[in-house]
Amino acid sequence: MSLRIIFMGTPEFSIPTLRKIIEQGHEVCAVYTQPPRKAGRGSKVRQTPIHEYAQKAGLTVFTPKSLKSSSEKEAFKALNADVAVVIAYGLILPKAVLTGCTHGCLNVHGSLLPRWRGAAPIQRAIMAGDEQTGVMIMQMDEGLDTGDVLLSKTIPIPPLMTAGQLHDDMMEKGADLLVRALDDLGQGTLNPTAQSDQGITYAHKISKQETRIDWSKPVHEINNHIRGLSPFPGAWFEANTGSGKQERVKVLSSQVTPEISTAIKITEENIYVNCKGGAIDLIELQKQGKKPLKAKDFINGLNGDLKIRP
């Protein structure tokens, strides 16, 4: 059964879901996304990834700064949609919008709720050392990711997986699950399940202050910190790489190895940093403003030893 859908999303993460909704033959009567903003070098005004995709697909796009005004609420309801699909939109939805479609608003959320409600569930799951996470389709209500769960899929987190890799995996799996939910909605077979009141955690937005690597922490915490912030915003340290001044270096990939006898050990192909309970093998690094390099190539560019500031 074809549904009349309002799509609400902003980043690249939202694109596979919108694409599959269109491919399934549903009518997307409108796309809501964040307004164009200045970004990148030169501070050029740029549309959001979902805005660009929707325009190419010939869809009507709305970019309100807020949905709280009476006019915005009325315009939303006037679209007469069966359901709204919300994925990483970025604006708070007032009650009038949450109830403005026949079947309300469905949200694609990147965790196994009620674990990791909030803004950064992918990063926080890896940073906490979780061995699995998931993606869920949720019926939105006025709380922060508190609505009934409609469908879910568990996703394992292998030891070397980064937030970027989990993001890409979840992006596709979430799109498939959402399409399934729409099929079930059309057939009247969606079964909502209330979230548990046990095991609730919050995935707070990543702050700039917490991205710096604290080498005094246990080795597994450091490794999870690096994985959870890769590739963006990136965990980093300051070091003298031979230029005579401190430079910021991001670590994009790492793994835990046995403890070494020195604070830092550099071989022809590896950089090891000793920590509590083991050492961190720095697999891929990136100087500020430079391209990412495997450890071997990073070592070849050093002018002397690597002196890391604690």
The one-digit pLDDT tens for each residue of the chain (310 residues) are 899 999 999 999 999 999 999 999 999 999 999 999 987 666 789 999 999 999 999 999 999 999 999 999 999 999 999 999 999 999 999 999 999 999 999 999 999 999 999 999 999 999 999 999 999 999 999 999 999 999 999 999 999 999 999 999 999 999 999 999 999 999 999 999 999 999 999 999 999 999 999 999 999 999 999 999 999 999 999 998 877 788 999 999 999 999 999 999 999 999 999 999 999 999 999 998 899 999 999 999 887 678 887 6
Phi, psi of 164, deg, nearest 5:
-65, -40
Cα 305 to Cα 310: distance, rounded to the nearest angstrom: 15
Query: What is the C-alpha R_g of the chain?
Result: 22
What token pair was written down for 308?
């890391």
Torsion from C-alpha of 210, 211, 216, 219, nearest 10 degrees: 120
> What are the CA-CA distances from residue 81 to residues 26, 95, 122, 129, 178 (Å)?
11, 16, 30, 41, 17
What pLDDT score was predicted for residue 310? 66
> How many residues does the structure list for the chain?
310
Give the CATH H-level superfamily of domain 4-202.
Formyl transferase, N-terminal domain (3.40.50.170)
- The architecture that CATH gives domain 208-308 is Roll (3.10)
Q: At CA 13, angle to CA 139 and CA 233, rounded to 5? A: 115
Element (H, E) at 307: strand 307-308
Helix (H, G, I), strand (E, B) or coil at 130: coil
What token pair was written down for 247?
């430079």
State pTM to two decimals. Answer: 0.93
Cα 38 to Cα 30: distance, rounded to the nearest angstrom: 24
Secondary structure (DSSP) of 76-96: HHHT--SEEEEES--SPPPHH
Q: Where are the domains of the chain?
A: 4-202, 208-308
Cα 90 to Cα 33: distance, rounded to the nearest angstrom: 8
Helix (H, G, I), strand (E, B) or coil at 280: strand
Torsion from C-alpha of 114, 119, 124, 125, nearest 10 degrees: 40
Cα 146 to Cα 269: distance, rounded to the nearest angstrom: 48
